A and B are shown apart, each in its own frame.
Chain A
């Protein structure tokens, strides 16, 4: 068995040797061992592959000189596995480039032959190529394309299963392999040429815009954390292609597939591609209800931790009524009925008064759980809600090991910002914009909402620029949050949850203070409910 990662790998040669090529994936839970060998800011896919190779004791590996990450992966692996070979893959495909690649393939064959002490028979290769060259079907008209960085097989499969359209995979894991086997007298050369003729990936010099044709109903564009190759093409598509475009970012981490699939589903619905009948989850569905002072949020997941639906509504004067309503909306969104639900966990201030919950758990535990599920590199969760704010410290397994909460007043919370927006006479959306270029760096000295309000009033009276005042307010909230963080000590990565995480200005201000980027989940308000749903599932 020989592990590989790239579609340009001469897998047919490996097969002709009578060996089994296995495409390496990176289904890791942690990068502990990988990060002992390679810097942690490398691409998460490359780290995951490294982890996989160590964990599964893979002894033979063939890589292509794909990108800086893979080149370094090769350097790191060189004395750690029994056989490793790096194929230099040209970026062009003129005759000289084909010659080069052909030589590379020969070099690999010789190296492998020597290592295995096995002979290579060209007839075997011919047979394999013949069997592969004619099974390419013409794609039907309604298609969606997956572009960008590789996606995990299970995600691709789920996309295929969840829509009726043709799914064309243009990423590194694409399986189309068509070979020119006419030129039998120089089979290896034309094999090398056929490989270079595969759909060009991002690293190739070729223009890829021809991949995007009018027939496509939409494009799902994947990027991988710490891989920068793909953002360019995405930026270009975003400004040019008049096709529905969904950008996702994966990190090859098992736990975030659920979140991604929810977004893909929503995207497919919006492109009008009919969804197939949902398969009923066998073990039922699990619900988390977060009854907060400002909003009530519900999340429904299935047994595989996929987020099926969620709802967010403002908490009315009666917490119970809001909880019922949010639950109902989430059920409707999912096309489910109450009887489909296996169990419910409630959290948040109002958790005690929800009679339909099977269990109650504090929002601290639930937030920790939800955040770690979304991204298991998170060690600190900063949750700023409507009325309160908290900071939660997680250990490497996602358990809560420490936390702090604000004192019993609304300083530094969503409420604070709301009051100030009202004072300024602007909408909360207006407040949320980032104003980086400040004319004057104003500081709001009072943390107390009441006193801060009068400070703002006097700033208005002094005719200060509104943007500067907003900036000052965002800074005030950030400073409060960071002082909470400092109370339990700084430890990254940081995730920010709660409604205020949607306020770009605050996020930016916290980031500048921490000197680190915050991870913002796709829907920061539902993390507590998500955690509750996960607990509900695991409790079963």
Chain B
């Protein structure tokens, strides 16, 4: 802990020297990478260990070579990037890492001082702050979708204008229809053209098809994993459920992620039977919140059963027409469209995983998620499962009221 503190302080003292901070962050990521490579924690299954390394490396790689990278958000279709060997950097992951380095407060204050609203989602503020300070070197391209989260379009528009970096916004309709698919497909064709132009290389459609095939295989494994998620205990910390977002979203379609899921399925088959109580999370897990860390990480009593965000799409993508297939995948995401879609997915997952309780951590600023809290609460009571919602922030630690959270969390866990 103290090394981290010293490191944090060095970064903060150098904020006016972006070059240096950049190096320090790279150093931090490299050390983290070597740390997880050499000091294997016995309690962590092989697959998650692999994922841990993969995630750190992916961030490191895109930061190290901004000219071959694109900024995206969690839901952007990165299949194109994978097929063209462009390294994506996604906002949510970068900001989480900065929070891990304890410098999110500085970055958030910077964003706010430039005029960003104090209720804006801190994943976005942290990212904006870092780019305002030029700690984040500008990439060659930016790509976002309009779906799910309001912050995406304005954040990317703002950053693209500021840095003069080309941006493509993919507008995803709220409702599914044939016309909607046509509309998105056309945009995906445009985005591909744009990528070819900016990076000056061709998109090989066969390669894209290969990525989609791999993605389909990966999703099959994901579904298989879910068959065991109810009985087994395989996620030692909350962070891993969040690391899974690298696999279930931005990097899905890559060979490495397929390999990860293969290992994950093997691991869960071998994992011990679940004991204690299991909790299913809605949307995000507060990986930096002390109370949650105390109760859930490496715990025998409480077990993380999963979260709906990792399973927002479980179907197959059309391999014959990957553009159309990806368009459908985007529109049909369970987080897009009416909340009923999300509710149906949660219900499906809960019936499979049979958790003992459901927790929704309402991340400050995330309207799409907290706006549905009471509807999900109703679902939980319909299913007869205790439900708790807590307000806080997954990135900005200052927005968590530890004392209050503790009482409510403890009371809830006692209730189970």
Contacts and interface: CB of A to CB of B under 8 A. Distances in A.
Interface in B210-267: none
B339 A202 contact: no
Interface residues of B, number: 58
Interface string B70-101: 00000000000000000000000000000000
B119 to A, nearest CB: 5
A205 B116 CA distance: 19
A96 interface: yes
B180 A68 contact: no
B13 A228 contact: no
B150 interface: yes
B186 interface: yes
Contact of B179 (A67, A99, A247): A99
Interface in B92-115: 105-106, 109, 114-115
A471 to B, nearest CB: 14
A253 B245 CA distance: 40
B375 interface: yes
Given A39-B373, A100-B183, A203-B153, A437 B106 contact: yes
Interface in B360-416: 362, 364-368, 370-375, 389, 391, 398-402
Interface in A30-44: 37-39, 41-43
B150 A226 contact: no
Given A67-B150, A88-B175, A39 B117 contact: no
B375 A97 contact: no
Given A68-B367, A202-B154, A515-B401, A96 B179 contact: yes
A91 B146 contact: yes
A356 interface: no
A76 B153 contact: no
A281 B158 CA distance: 45
B120 A42 contact: no
B180 A100 contact: yes
Nearest to A103: B179
Given A75-B372, A512-B398, A88 B173 contact: yes
Contacts of A99: 179, 183
Contacts of B293: none
B371 A39 contact: yes
B21 to A, nearest CB: 13
Given A96-B179, A103-B179, A232-B158, A39 B362 contact: yes
A493 interface: no
B71 to A, nearest CB: 15
Contact of B174 (A71, A232, A233, A247): A71
Interface of A: 37-39, 41-43, 65, 67-69, 71-76, 86, 88, 90-92, 94, 96-97, 99-100, 103-104, 202-203, 205, 207, 223, 225-236, 238-239, 247, 436-437, 511-512, 515-517
18 contacts: A39-B373, A68-B149, A90-B173, A92-B171, A96-B183, A104-B175, A205-B169, A228-B117, A228-B120, A228-B365, A229-B154, A231-B116, A231-B120, A232-B116, A234-B115, A436-B106, A436-B109, A515-B398
Given A39-B374, A205-B157, 8 more contacts: A37-B374, A68-B366, A94-B186, A205-B171, A223-B117, A228-B150, A229-B150, A234-B115
